[in-house]
């Protein structure tokens, strides 16, 4: 099995003699299966070359706001969106001053300003620079802004003086980074997720589909991936970019989805059926485009196979989670769907609320009853429902 990275960090290296320690840190991070993207300031490149970090991280090091290797988009936005956290190590007094004031004049400071993820700052500088009131004032500002400051240590400094200002050791920085990520209860386990609508062809150009955007299924795939799983995402046609690090099996019809799920389900520990699968499909697909006439047209539809129920009916099934979009009586319909499909958990939502939107209101149903979740974005809800499912699967001895 290929190695699946699922925890992504941007390591920002700024100018200082301690930059050499960031090389060892990169090695430890990669060993801990964290995907490391290194970005360096111009001053950092005066201490250690980008080639060192490129070799250790296995990825090109970014130094330039206008780097042509970041295609079509703006490097600073792209970079900050591709990672789950940013660590600046070592952080110079100058760089701390910049980000404390929201300055953005190079790739790294611009990326920090544009971030939507946690930021860790590990300062390293001479003890007098550290104690300087302006520096302390800037650090106070960063703390007030929710930034985590790691260190510095006290001891012998590169300049020969003794005191506070040494970069904390790489092993301690690794611990601080690991603390940012959720626990990986699914590490090394396989999980199958279905997502999106299906498309049931009537003729070569027409078909029956529905308005599922696939957003919820993709969010579940992401949450499961972040819990450490090897995710197989079986997806109907959507306009979304699939989450990185997942094996994606694109399908169109319910029959194709059934086949793809069964090809992947062996040795999976969990199955999330998020797709809005067509319940009926045309009995026949016309080989050629249907021509209009003045007569009424009758389409005969036949039921599709219930993918979720067939997975739940396997000899030793994975922990199965279904989704129920209802327009009324959510609890009654969702719980009876859960029982009739023979599954442990079902996620209910009122259909008119969620379709296509980024937010959602959902209620988790299991044999203990209903667990409503507060309104939130689909990715936040996905993380909560995956956590709930993991706890239930642990109780059942599946995990
Ligand atoms: N599902 C499936 N295969 C199908 C149909 C549905 O795996 N052929 C799964 C969906 O992914 C979802 C759940 O079953 O997890 C939805 O159940 P379903 O009974 O299809 O719900 P509705 O189609 O909304 O049912 P109804 O129209 O009866 O409310």
Residue 185 lies in a domain: no
> Does 33 map to a domain?
yes
Residue 274 CA to ligand 1 centre (angstroms): 9
Strands (E), 180-314: 190-195, 200-203, 206-208, 230-235, 247-250, 268-273, 280-282, 301-303
Mark whether 145 and 219 lie in a shared domain.
Answer: no
Which residues approach ligand 1 with their CB closer than 6 A?
194, 254, 273, 275, 277, 279, 304-308, 322-325, 337
The alpha carbon torsion through 356, 357, 363, 366 (nearest 10 deg) reads 40
CA distance 262 to 203: 26
pLDDT digits 0-9 by tens, 226-262 = 898 999 999 999 999 999 889 999 999 999 999 999 9
Q: Which residues pair with 9 in a beta bridge?
A: 36, 85
Q: Quote the ligand 1 centre to 325 CA distance (angstroms).
A: 8
Give pLDDT, residue 2: 38
Higher pLDDT, 343 or 160: 343
In angstroms, rounded to a whole number, what is the distance separating the alpha carbons of residues 345 and 342? Answer: 9
pLDDT of residue 3: 41
Taking CA atoms only, the protein residue closest to ligand 1 atom 4 is 306
Q: For the CA atoms of the chain, what is the radius of gyration?
A: 26
Domain co-membership, 101 together with 206:
no
- Distance between CA 24 and CA 14 in Å, rounded? 15
* Same-domain status, 230 and 378: yes
The per-residue pLDDT for range 165-184, each reduced to its tens digit, is 999 999 999 999 988 877 78
Q: Are 130 and 62 in contact (CB under 8 A)?
A: no
pLDDT top residue among 79 and 73: 79
Between 387 and 66, the higher pLDDT residue: 387
- Domain membership of residue 1 (yes or no) is no
Pairing assessment for the beta strands 247-250 and 200-203 based on DSSP bridges: unpaired
Residue 2 lies in a domain: no
Residue 279 Cα to ligand 1 midpoint, Å, equals 7
Q: What is the pLDDT of residue 81?
A: 80
Decide which of 178, 212, 246 is a domain's last residue.
178
CA 362 to centroid of ligand 1, rounded, Å:
16
Residues 256 and 289 in one domain: yes
pLDDT of residue 73: 61
Of the pLDDT bands very low, low, confident and very high (cuts 50, 70, 90), residue 376 is: confident
Q: Dig out the tokens for 126 from the structure.
A: 């001479």
- Residue-wise pLDDT tens digits, 290-316: 999 999 999 999 999 999 999 999 999
Among the atoms of ligand 1, which is closest to the Cα of residue 322? Answer: 15
Which residues are 323's β-sheet partners? Answer: 347
pTM value is 0.71
Which of 262, 308, 364 is the pocket-test mutation for ligand 1 (most atoms within 8 Å of CB)?
308
Give the domain CATH number at 299.
3.40.50.10300
Q: What is the CATH number of the domain that holds 123?
A: 3.40.50.1950
What pLDDT score was predicted for residue 160? Answer: 80
DSSP string for residues in 187-198: TT-EEEEEESB-
Q: How far is the CA of 311 from the centre of ligand 1 (A)?
A: 13
For ligand 1, atom 19, the nearest C-alpha belongs to: 337
Quick check: is 255 in a domain? yes
Domains of the chain: total: 2
Residue 266, in any domain of the structure = yes
231 Cβ contact list (under 8 Å, min separation 6): 190, 191, 192, 193, 221, 224, 225, 243, 245, 246, 247
Q: Which residue out of 193, 235, 307 has the highest number of ligand 1 atoms within 8 Å of its CB and is therefore the one to mutate?
A: 307
Residue 106 contacts residue 45 (beta carbons within 8 Å): no
How large a percentage of the chain has pLDDT more than 90? 76
Clarify whether residues 128 and 198 are in a common domain. no
Task: Say whether 159 is catalytic.
Answer: yes
Domain of residue 95: give its range.
7-178
Q: Is pLDDT above 70 for 70?
A: no
Same domain (yes/no): 166, 194 = no
Q: Which atom of ligand 1 is nearest to the CA of 351?
A: 24
For residue 76, pLDDT over 80 is answered with: no
Given the residues 45, 117, 159, 246, select the one marked as catalytic: 159
């Amino acid at each position: 099995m290929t190695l699946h990275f699922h925890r992504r960090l941007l390591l920002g290296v700024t100018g200082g003699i301690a930059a050499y320690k960031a090389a060892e840190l990169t090695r430890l991070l990669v060993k801990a299966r964290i995907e490391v993207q290194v970005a360096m300031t111009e001053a950092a490149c005066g201490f250690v070359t980008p080639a060192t970090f490129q070799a250790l991280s296995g990825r090109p090091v970014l130094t330039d706001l206008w780097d042509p290797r970041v295609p079509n988009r703006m490097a600073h936005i792209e970079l900050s969106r591709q990672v789950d956290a940013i660590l600046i190590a070592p952080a110079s007094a100058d760089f701390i001053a910049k980000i404390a004031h929201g300055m953005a004049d190079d790739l790294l400071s611009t990326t920090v300003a544009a971030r939507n993820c946690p930021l860790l700052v590990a300062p390293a500088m001479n003890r007098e620079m550290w104690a300087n009131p302006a520096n302390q004032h800037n650090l106070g500002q960063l703390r007030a802004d929710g930034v985590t400051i790691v260190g510095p240590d006290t001891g012998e400094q590169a300049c020969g003086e003794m005191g506070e200002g040494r970069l904390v050791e790489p092993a301690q920085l690794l611990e601080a980074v690991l603390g940012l990520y959720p626990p990986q209860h699914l590490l090394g386990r396989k999980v199958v997720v279905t997502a999106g609508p299906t498309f049931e062809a009537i003729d070569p150009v027409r078909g029956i589909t529905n308005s599922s955007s696939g957003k919820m299924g993709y969010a579940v795939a992401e949450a499961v991936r972040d819990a450490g799983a090897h995710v197989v995402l079986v997806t109907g046609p959507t306009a979304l970019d699939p989450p990185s690090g997942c094996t994606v099996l694109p399908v169109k019809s319910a029959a194709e989805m059934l086949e793809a799920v069964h090809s992947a389900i062996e040795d999976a520990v969990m199955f999330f059926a998020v797709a809005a699968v067509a319940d009926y499909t045309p009995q026949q697909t016309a080989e050629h485009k249907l021509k209009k006439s003045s007569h009424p047209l009758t389409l005969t539809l036949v039921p599709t196979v219930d993918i979720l129920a067939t997975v739940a009916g396997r000899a030793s099934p994975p922990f199965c989670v279904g989704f129920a979009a209802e327009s009324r009586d959510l609890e009654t319909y969702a719980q009876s769907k859960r029982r009739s499909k023979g599954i442990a958990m079902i996620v209910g939502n009122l259909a008119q609320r969620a379709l296509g939107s980024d937010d959602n209101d959902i209620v988790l149903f299991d044999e203990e009853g209903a667990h409503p979740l507060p309104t939130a974005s689909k990715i936040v809800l996905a993380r909560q429902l995956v956590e709930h499912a993991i706890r239930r699967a642990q109780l059942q001895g599946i995990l």
